[in-house]
Amino acid sequence: MEETRSTTVRDVARAAGVSPGTVSKAINGTGSISPATRARVLATAEELDYRPNDLARSVFERRSFTVGMITTDSFGRFSVPVMLGAEDALGAGRISVFLCDSRDDPIRERHYIDVLQRRRVDGFIVTGRSSNPRPPLEVPRGMPVVYAHAPSTEPHATSVLIDDVRTGELATEHLIDTGRRRIAAITGPERFLAAHQRVRGHLAALAAAGLEPVRSPLGGEWTEQWGRHATHLLLREHPDIDGIMCGSDLIARGVMDSLRELGRSVPDDVAVVGIDNWELIADGARPSLTSVDTNLQELGRTAAQRLLEAIDGRPRRGAEHIAPRLVIRESTELG
Amino acid sequence: MEETRSTTVRDVARAAGVSPGTVSKAINGTGSISPATRARVLATAEELDYRPNDLARSVFERRSFTVGMITTDSFGRFSVPVMLGAEDALGAGRISVFLCDSRDDPIRERHYIDVLQRRRVDGFIVTGRSSNPRPPLEVPRGMPVVYAHAPSTEPHATSVLIDDVRTGELATEHLIDTGRRRIAAITGPERFLAAHQRVRGHLAALAAAGLEPVRSPLGGEWTEQWGRHATHLLLREHPDIDGIMCGSDLIARGVMDSLRELGRSVPDDVAVVGIDNWELIADGARPSLTSVDTNLQELGRTAAQRLLEAIDGRPRRGAEHIAPRLVIRESTELG
DNA sequence: CTGAAAGCGCTAACAA
DNA sequence: TTGTTAGCGCTTTCAG
């Protein structure tokens, strides 16, 4: 096993017959240097397959051009799009991203913070499964942190969030626009802020249109099973329902399955709209499911943007909400 | 904005009244040092909230204790579990992971390789959506690379893969074990190696049990729609079918929907088994879906293991396959 | 056991 | 324009 040491500035300098300082200038385009030597240095660098050592540079610059991304959501339903968006925005700015999965374990989180601190990351992005507030990341003051999707309990922290109220509003407005009047909501567990706020938007939209909800919203689980179950409950009480807003696409699938079973046609008898726009689920459904996209990828990109600004010394405090967007499919098409 | 420089070895040394070298020894436990000074140094370090600069250390050690993870699969269906497994295994060994999403774009891949090279990563893990072979990562010879899920076309490369043949075998053996005899397969596009190999395992299992396939396997898409469509075709030709092996869970869901529609009960009339064990899909299905888990997370962990070995100078060449595992649910329960 | 000195690879200030 | 020097933060000989 030959121990190969990668080529250094010195090597290039020696080969090109100049000093290390000159090589540095040639490569970074700093200082003043004659075009001739510049060209010669670059040529030899190329020839020797020289690759600058960014670690050494970082020691000098006192920053690493890296950030830590900490996710508490192993399964990735929500974090993954956020992380991809963030990585995309950061990568474009030549910043690299450390991936850390804390699995919702404070010990592991602490560990990652320590490790990344030693690596001198320029900042952190924190993301998680639930949009419920979480305790702040314990980093030294002055270290930039942006919360993506899961806000901090600390109100002054920088957070980029889903506009859950607006998703419920959009979904419900769309039902109304397609002529539905006897509308109900089936959503997730009460303890989830998201469930709550989506319902708030739902009720606001109904009120704005001068409609009464057919029934108080049904809260249960974020599952197909619950969607199926709730639909049975709902139709038993209100057989004349003509529109259902679901708190998630998975719930919506369950709802549509039960509707079919109960002999209701979607969208002719009942229109159904979901939230999440999880394409695989929405496209695979029968009929395909109209859904509100929460734009998680854009959320991630925005979070990255905010982190860059904070690193740059101009932090934007407080919460910011990403606008959702309606994606129309068959489940609400006008008859 | 106060420009705060983090505390250094020098600061600690000064505060503790010793030399920088001594601090280094105390903190790393290297060299010989008296218990007294050691304790004193550690105390002052603690007090000053000193955090060693790993970048500086890495410059010295000529390695960074970081690796690059390059995924070509933005959507993450397959890469995410692999990445989490890898991150888990590496994090335990105090190695940090750079996340890079190349989006299947060679230009972006090249870019990431360059950037990470400059950051002096110790190696690469490459992962992708498809299990079809991909061109090798263009890195200097001697740089450790492990392919996870998507193998390299270079046969000597180190790859850790799903045992697709075995998944098909397991699924089919299970159908046979539950007493099914008129069995068919519905799977994904022919151009996918995975589809091919799963069918190979399927046919092998049938042959081993002395059974003939009812019909040549139906290859189409990896979607619910295809599952529904194929089921109609299949039952028109062979109404007496009693077991269906599906190339994926999504296909299986479509299959089960159509079976119900055609008045067949699952599992009483027809047993259905999927592959992937995508829990959300399998648990949500009605009845819940028996499926073969491809153990992607373990695959990721193993890939990390192999990478560590390669970094350590003992690479293991060639492909290695991770054993799948059957997860039994309602869709194949014995009547 | 401890400190001084040199060096990892790179860059910025300053002389030449 | 170029080379020299010093230094980023850390570690490791090697004298003391």
pLDDT digit string, tens, across residues B274-312: 999 999 899 989 999 999 999 999 999 999 999 999 999
Q: Do the Cβ atoms of B59 and A54 come within 8 Å? A: no
> CA nearest B126: which of B94, B159, B153, B154?
B159
CA distances to A20, A25, A32, A33, A53 from A16, in Å: 10, 14, 17, 14, 19
DSSP state letter for A229: H
Q: Chain B residue with minimal CA distance to A83?
A: B99
Q: Is B329 helix (H, G, I), strand (E, B) or coil?
A: coil
How long is the CA A320 to C1' D5 vector, in angstroms?
Answer: 50
- Both tokens of A44, joined, read 């030899």
Q: If you write DSSP's letter for every residue of A80-117 in order, what string do you get?
A: HHHHHHHHHHHHHTT-EEEEEE-TT-HHHHHHHHHHHH
Contacts of A80 in chain B (CB under 8 A): 76, 80
Q: Tell me, what's the pLDDT at B1?
A: 40
Task: Give me the pLDDT at residue B103, please.
Answer: 92
Determine contact, residues A20/A35, Cβ cutoff 8 Å.
Answer: no
Which of B49, B138, B280 should we substitute to test contact with A (largest number of A Cβ atoms within 10 Å)? B280
Of residues B51, B101, B112, nearest to A84 (C-beta): B101
Indicate the average pLDDT of chain B.
95
Residue of B nearest to A286 (CA): B225
Q: Which of A227, A304, A318, A295 is nearest to A266 (CA)?
A: A227
The reported pLDDT for the residue numbered B57 is: 96
Give SS3 for B10. Answer: helix
Contacts of B54 in chain A (CB under 8 A): 118-120
* CB atoms A84 and B96 under 8 Å: no
Is the Cβ pair B119, A140 closer than 8 Å?
no
**Residue A150 has what DSSP assignment?**
S
Single-letter residue type at B244: I
Interface residues for strand D (CB within 7 Å) are A 17-22, 25, 31-34, 36-38, 56, 59-60, 62; B 5-6, 8-10, 20-21, 23-25, 27-28, 30-31, 52-53, 56-57, 59-60
CA distance B211 to B160: 32
Q: For residue B109, with 0-12 CB atoms within 10 Å meaning exposed, 13-18 middle and 19 or more buried, which class applies?
A: buried
Strand C nucleotides, any atom under 7 Å from protein beta carbons: they are 1-5, 7-14
Chain B residues touching A54 at Cβ < 8 A: 118-120
Which residues make beta-bridge pairs with A145? A124
Helices (H) and strands (E) in chain B, counts: 12, 12
What's the pLDDT score for residue B265? 97
Q: Across the interface, do B117 and A88 touch by the CB < 8 Å criterion?
A: no
Residue A50 CA distance to nucleotide D2 C1' (Å): 22
Q: What is the DSSP string of B126-169?
A: EE-S--S-BPPP---TT--EEEESS-BSSTTSEEEEE-HHHHHH
| Cβ within 8 Å of residue B35, ≥6 positions away | none
Contact state of A99 with B98 under an 8 Å Cβ cutoff: yes
Nearest to B87 among A80, A99, A280 (CB): A99
The pLDDT, as a whole number, for residue A335 is 52
State which residue of chain B sits closest to A66, comparing Cα positions: B98
User: Under an 8 A CB cutoff, do A99 and B99 touch?
Assistant: yes
Identity of residue B9: V
Rounded distance between C-alpha atoms, residue B184 and residue B218, angstroms: 8
C-alpha pair distances (Å), A314 with each of A137, A161, A176, A308, A309: 20, 20, 43, 9, 5
CB atoms within 10 A of CB B200: 16
Positions in chain B whose pLDDT score sits under 50: 1-2
Spell out the residues 6+ positions from residue B154 whose beta carbon is closer than 8 angstroms to its own: B136
pLDDT in tens, chain A (335 residues): 345 788 999 999 999 999 999 999 999 998 889 999 999 999 999 999 999 999 999 999 999 999 999 999 876 778 999 999 999 999 998 999 999 999 999 999 999 999 999 999 999 999 998 889 999 999 999 999 999 999 999 999 999 999 999 999 999 999 999 999 999 999 999 999 999 999 999 999 999 999 999 999 999 999 999 999 999 999 999 999 999 999 999 999 999 999 999 999 999 999 999 999 999 899 989 999 999 999 999 999 999 999 999 999 999 999 999 999 999 999 998 75
Closest Cα of chain B to A315: distance in Å? Answer: 11
- Chain B residues whose CB is inside 8 A of the A74 CB are 84
Chain A to chain B Cβ contacts (< 8 Å): 122
**Token pair recorded at residue A306:** 């905010």
The backbone region for B150, taken as left when phi is positive above 0, alpha when psi lies in -120 to 50, beta otherwise, is: beta
> Scanning every residue of chain B, which has its alpha carbon at the shortest distance from the alpha carbon of A3?
B142
Return the bridge partners of B273, or none: B245, B290
**Contact (CB, 8 A) for B242 and B181:** yes
Pairwise CB contact (< 8 Å): A99 & B83: yes
pLDDT score at B3: 57
Residues contacting strand C at CB < 7 A?
A: A 5-6, 8-10, 20-21, 23-24, 27-28, 30-31, 52-53, 56-57, 59-60; B 17-22, 25, 31-34, 36-38, 56, 59-60, 62
Q: Which nucleotide is nearest to B19 (CA to C1')?
A: C3
Task: Note whether A99 contacts B101, CB cutoff 8 Å.
Answer: no
pLDDT at position A2 is 44
CB neighbour list of residue A4: distance below 8 Å, 6 or more residues apart: B142
Nearest to A117 among B51, B56, B118 (CB): B51
Strand D nucleotides within a 7 Å radius of protein CB atoms:
1-5, 7-14
- Check residue A73 and give its pLDDT: 83
Q: Which residues pair with B125 in a beta bridge?
A: B69, B146
Q: Which residue of B has its CA nearest to A278?
A: B75
